[in-house]
């Protein structure tokens, strides 16, 4: 679905425009942030927006969740899904419809396929580790590359040049798959975190998508480290399986999309990657319909 947001101006003004949320979305994010909120409170806010209600019910009844009984009410869906997942589908639906995804070599389809794949796999990692932060891991995956959208809007020509340069270097073993491997791409985590910081989100999510301040993660809280570690592993796995921003080729050979050795932790995830990719596609379809 084409973006409904037209961004113009400086870096700060584009960030402001991308970070702007409709009141209903902002209320839902705020409800999910506060421990005192209940499923009933959340459902009452969602029911005021027929579009959001429809998406939530679609998610609750999707084959991916495998609910045995049909879910017909938003309150019931809130109980089945939990606040974190409802927050995620509401924000995802807003972002897919409004944020101007990069054009050119990446394009909206590839960008969002990558984002949803990373998000879904990060959540799967959390669920497998029995982490209570699994939904935050999904959210971090969903928003981790929003900075790419901002840079593409800020200077489309420079962005395309950086993409071409990165694509040439991506064939080398061990190279990072990103649209800008130079100083420009170093801005992406900081921009993504700046956008997320405008929203009522857990601090650990904002820290997890932000700049890599120290390789030892010493400057991150324990929860932010947990979210970031799942995010990084999900990004590497998706890239290795050909679902990166510049290596979107579907399932690749056992040597990975770039021919590089498989990063640590990926072997245990590869067997379930097809199912994860399908779940990501289902979620993306619900958010973008």
Read off the pLDDT of residues 1-15 as tens digits, 9 standing for 90 and up: 445 455 556 899 999
Read off the pLDDT of residues 148-202 as tens digits, 9 standing for 90 and up: 999 899 988 888 887 777 776 654 333 344 444 445 557 889 999 999 999 999 9
216, with CB counted inside 10 A (0-12, 13-18, 19+), is exposed
Q: What is the mean pLDDT of the chain?
A: 79
Backbone angles phi and psi of 216, in degrees to 5: -85, -5
Q: Which residue has the tokens 């990004």?
A: 235
Distances (CA, A) of 275 to 44, 87, 124: 33, 23, 10
Q: What is the pLDDT of residue 257?
A: 43
* All residues at 6 or more sequence positions from 280 whose CB lies less than 8 Å from its CB, including other chains: 113, 116, 117, 119, 120, 121
Q: What is the pLDDT of residue 19?
A: 95
Rounded Cα distance, 104 and 122, in Å: 27
Report whether pLDDT(77) > 50: yes
pLDDT, greater one: 199 or 219: 199
Rounded Cα distance, 289 and 275, in Å: 21
pLDDT, greater one: 230 or 251: 230
Rounded Cα distance, 277 and 272, in Å: 9
Distances (CA, A) of 264 to 103, 111, 220, 234, 268: 32, 25, 22, 11, 9
Listed residue (147, 253, 248) closest to 197, CA to CA: 147
Q: Which CATH class is domain 11-288?
A: mainly alpha
Residue extents of the structural domains in the chain = 11-288
Q: Which range, of 80-84, 119-123, 264-268, averages the lowest pLDDT? A: 264-268
Q: Are 65 and 79 in contact (CB under 8 A)?
A: no
Q: Is the dihedral of CA 212, 114, 138, 199 positive or negative?
A: positive
**Per the confidence metrics, is the pTM higher than 0.85?**
no
DSSP code of residue 210: S
pLDDT, greater one: 261 or 162: 162
**pLDDT band, residue 214 (cuts 50/70/90):** very low
DSSP code of residue 19: H
Distances (CA, A) of 181 to 109, 131, 168, 187, 261: 21, 32, 11, 11, 20
């Amino acid at each position: 679905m084409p973006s409904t947001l037209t961004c113009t101006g400086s870096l700060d003004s584009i960030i402001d425009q991308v970070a702007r949320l409709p009141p209903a979305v902002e209320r839902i994010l705020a409800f999910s942030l506060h421990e005192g909120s209940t499923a009933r409170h959340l459902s009452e806010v969602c029911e005021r927006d027929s579009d959001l209600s429809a998406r939530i019910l679609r998610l609750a009844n999707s084959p991916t969740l495998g609910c045995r009984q049909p879910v017909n009410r938003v309150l019931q869906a809130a109980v089945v899904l939990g606040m974190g997942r409802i927050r995620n589908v509401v924000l995802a639906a807003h972002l897919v419809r409004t944020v101007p995804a990069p054009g050119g070599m990446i394009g909206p389809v590839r960008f969002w396929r990558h984002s949803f794949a990373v998000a879904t796999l990060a959540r799967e990692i959390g669920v497998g580790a029995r982490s209570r932060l699994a939904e935050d891991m999904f959210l971090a995956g969903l928003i981790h590359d929003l900075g790419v959208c901002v840079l593409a809007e800020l200077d489309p020509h420079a962005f395309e040049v950086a993409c071409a340069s990165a694509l040439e270097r991506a064939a080398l073993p061990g190279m990072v798959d990103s649209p800008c491997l130079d100083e420009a791409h170093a801005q992406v985590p900081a921009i993504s975190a700046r956008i997320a910081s405008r929203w009522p989100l857990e601090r650990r999510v904002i820290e997890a998508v932000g700049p890599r301040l120290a390789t030892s993660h010493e400057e991150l809280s324990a929860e932010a480290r947990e979210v970031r570690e799942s995010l990084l592993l999900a990004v590497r796995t998706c890239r290795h399986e050909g679902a990166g921003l510049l290596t979107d080729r579907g399932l690749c050979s056992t040597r990975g999309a770039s021919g590089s050795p498989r990063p640590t932790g990926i072997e245990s995830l590869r067997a379930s990657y097809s199912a994860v990719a399908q779940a990501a596609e289902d979620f993306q379809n619900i958010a973008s319909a």
